[in-house]
Amino acid sequence: MTSDTAAIDVRHEPERNRFAATVDGVEAVLDYRRHGDVISLFHTGVPEQIGGRGVAAALVRTALDHARAEGLKVDPACSYVAAYFRKHPQDADLLATT
């Protein structure tokens, strides 16, 4: 897996409630729901063809940057997002209280 997720172009598609990236013609997504000032990141989908390249991490990083910029808290409803938070404790201030 590459550590250079900055090279992956992630776009926010608010009309579809998702963040998306296309790598080698294959699309990956991070779906979300917004509830007031909380964004629930509930599904990360990265097809096998582009797995292991840091695409999921880039999607989550972009979503967290968006949440921070908008003053939102994050509900890590997806297991990948929850694991990302465990590996990146510096982002714990974004976690929504349950």
Which CATH architecture fits 5-94? 3-Layer(aba) Sandwich (3.40)
What mean pLDDT is predicted for residues 29-58?
A: 97
SS (H, E, C) the chain: CCCCHHHCCEEEEHHHCEEEEEECCEEEEEEEEEECCEEEEEEEECCHHHCCCCHHHHHHHHHHHHHHHHCCEEECCCHHHHHHHHHCHHHHHHECCC
How large a percentage of the chain has pLDDT more than 90? 91
pLDDT by residue (tens digit) across 47-94?
999 999 999 999 999 999 999 999 999 999 999 999 999 999 999 999
CA distance 71 to 86: 21
- pTM, to two decimals: 0.92
Say what the pLDDT of residue 3 is: 47
pLDDT for residue 2 is more than 60: no
